[in-house]
Amino acid sequence: MTDLFSPLTLGGVTFRNRIGVSPMCQYCAGEDGLPTDWHLAHLVSRAVCGPGMVMTEAAAISPEGRISAHDLGIWSEAHVGPHARLAAAIAHAGSVPAIQLAHAGRKASRLPAWDSGPAVPGWEALAPSPLAFGHYAVPRAMTEAEVAQVIADMVAAARRAVRAGYRLIEVHAAHGYLLHQFLSPLSNRRKDSWGGDFEGRTRLLREAVAAVRAALPAGVALGVRISHTDWVEGGWTTEESVELSRRLRALGVDVVDVSSGGLDPAQRIPLGPGYQVPGAAAVRAGAGLPVMAVGLITEPAQAQAILAEGKADMVLLARAFLRDPYWVLNAAVALGRTEALSVPPQYERGWGSLGKMSIARPVGAPMPALPG
């Protein structure tokens, strides 16, 4: 029976347990996309509570691929140093530092979520086809050269991420952003070899993943986040996700992170506890590769059951970690697993009385060597 607190190895990277912090946009980078002190505080304050992995929010591979002007980026050499500070601090707290690489496509050029205003003037959004997302501006269809540039930008961003010290690189192909826009027949009406049938619509993601894999050294894991379904009649389906994941596995992807939706405002999502877990289980069973499950996983027993029932290899939580940065420690206590606790020595007086503790690497201990 797979245990929430048992280690997991993916692509040569070992996670201390099977709980991860899901990527969450903070919309507080500078206009240059550089991480700020907020990113450091936000990510590290989750890492010290013991998750196996902490993933950054979507980091844009090019300036025009940002959702908003305040998205995190990784499109230039100037980004490597500040990202290295984030990755080192997460690793120092004992979590695997992970980064999500993204291009927003037709969902680019927005004001930050909490402003919910119109598009940023003068910023043209790109997409497979000139089809708007809901009330957003109509994007411009990408030329073939622009499609090929996305692959080059993704590879360059992945190389920078490795140099910064991230150990898991996740390609964002979910939630209606550019790569998902290519996958879905609702947003991709191209007549060239980047559209049309399943082969054509999946070509950009497959080629991007193959190129990124070839650029990664041993000891860095590769993941892909997908929306397993659009939740819209005539859209991308779970069956296609299973077939795509088979292909991704053959291309050297170590894990598929299974989310859903975000492509079309007409979606009808059956929201409820663990509502995306059946999609994760279908991909895991059908494609035979490790998966992460995400979406309204909030309770320790629920998370444990998902793993024990073989529906996923790891669980990711987002909003639960905003409510409780110490979710992992509280889950260990709730499940009577305090021997599995991992806390920094600075916090031992807060948590040490609860039972036997495994203490994370002491402050000042040497960092493990970084690949690349």
Which residue in the block uniquely carries the two structure tokens 């969902």?
107
CB closest to ligand FMN, residue no = 318
The answer to whether residue 296 forms part of the interface with ligand FMN (CB under 6 A) is yes
- Selected binder of ligand FMN within 54, 58, 126, 154 (CB under 6 A): 58
Is residue 225 a contact residue for ligand FMN (CB under 6 A)?
yes
Q: Which of 27, 166, 177, 326 is catalytic?
A: 177
Smallest CA-to-CA distance from 20 within 347, 362, 294 is with 294
To ligand FMN, the closest distance from the beta carbon of 299 in angstroms equals 11
The yes or no reply on residue 291 touching ligand FMN (CB under 6 A) is no
Of residues 339-368, which lie at the interface with ligand FMN (CB under 6 A)? Answer: none
In the annotation, is 275 catalytic? no
Q: How many other C-beta atoms lie within 10 A of the C-beta of residue 353? A: 9
C-beta closer to ligand FMN: residue 68 or 100: 100
Residue 328 binding ligand FMN, by CB under 6 A: no
Task: Show the binding pattern over residues 95-134: x = contacts ligand FMN (CB under 6 A), - = does not.
Answer: -----x----------------------------------
Which residue in the block uniquely carries the two structure tokens 């050029």?
Answer: 109
Residue 270's contacts (CB-CB under 8 Å, 6 or more residues apart) are none
Residue type, 2: T
Question: Binding of ligand FMN at residue 175 (CB under 6 A)?
Answer: yes
Q: Which stretch in 21-29, 142-150, 343-351, 356-364 sits in contact with ligand FMN by CB under 6 A?
A: 21-29
Tell the burial category of 332 from Cβ atoms under 10 Å away from its Cβ (0-12, 13-18, 19+): buried
**Residue 33 in the binding site for ligand FMN (CB under 6 A):** no
Rounded least distance, CB 206 to ligand FMN, Å: 20
If binding is defined by CB under 6 A, does position 25 make contact with ligand FMN?
A: yes
Q: Measuring CA to CA, which residue among 137, 43, 59, 133 is closest to residue 92? A: 43
Q: Per CB under 6 A, does 23 bind ligand FMN?
A: yes
Cα end-to-end span (Å), the chain: 36
Cα–Cα distance, 99 to 170 (Å, whole number): 6
Q: Where do the DSSP E strands lie in the chain?
A: 8-10, 13-15, 19-21, 53-60, 72-73, 96-102, 126-127, 140-141, 168-173, 221-227, 255-259, 291-294, 314-317, 342-343, 358-359
Q: Which residues are catalytic?
A: 177
Residue ranges in contact with ligand FMN by CB under 6 A: 22-25, 57-58, 100, 172, 174-175, 225, 259, 294-297, 317-320
